[in-house]
Amino acid sequence: MIFTDEIKKQITQNDTVMKVIVDTIPKPEIISTGNVFHDIMSCILEQQIHYRSTKRTFEKMLKTAEIRELTMDNFKQFEEKAFMNLKLSANKYETILQTVEFFQTNEIELEQLPDQAIKKLLTKIKGVSNWTVEMLLIYTFGRITVFPSDDYHLKQIMTKLYEIPPEAKLKASMKAIAENWGKYQSTAVLYLLEWKRIMKLERPQ
């Protein structure tokens, strides 16, 4: 993800809250693996993409399996060593198996596809939600125009910072605010999540 002065201008010129955030905190640091299989498994197993996780469940599993980055080639080793003491629901385990099957049977270069095509393909996997794919689009593919309106943390921080009233339709209100960011919605989302992490939801003055 690129954070140029022009992009910062685009997301702040019509949003005073965002301007304070961008002017106050350092730009979010994301060092993506670029590995879709690795990242989608982190979302499934940790219920959060590992770049944002504080539990470090996926990281601990990799360490247990003596693996740095999960691939189809080392998944069997990962399964044998890291799943040993892990309690998984039947639905989650089925999602894992279907994800493995998807990557075994599809040799599609996902990074070459537009956002909606990636979403359409990956959500065919049972248990992979729109939210999961949106996390991949932002963190793995570095796509710029993604607004994950179902993200719990984003809902929480936008409700707080933009003072969205309880009676308002939350998603509609969030999307209306996001329109002020133009095509760089992913960048604005990353700044909001970083603000929450650093400031713990204190309102900017």
Across the chain, which has 205 residues, the per-10-residue mean pLDDT values are: 87 97 92 91 88 84 95 95 86 94 91 96 94 95 95 94 94 97 96 89 47
> Inter-axis angle of helices 152-161 and 185-199, to 10 degrees?
80
Looking at residue 108, what is its pLDDT? 86
Structure confidence at residue 56 (pLDDT): 86
Q: How many CB atoms lie within 10 A of CB 204?
A: 15
Tens digits of residue pLDDT in 81-97:
998 878 888 999 999 99
pTM here is: 0.90
Q: How many Å apart are CA 205 and CA 123, to the nearest integer?
A: 40
Nearest to 158 by CA among 205, 198, 192: 192
Pair of tokens at residue 58: 């996926």
Give the domains, in start order, of the chain with CATH numbers. 5-30+147-199 (1.10.1670), 36-140 (1.10.340.30)
Q: What is the pLDDT of residues 44-84, one digit of tens each?
A: 998 888 888 777 889 999 999 999 999 999 999 999 999 88
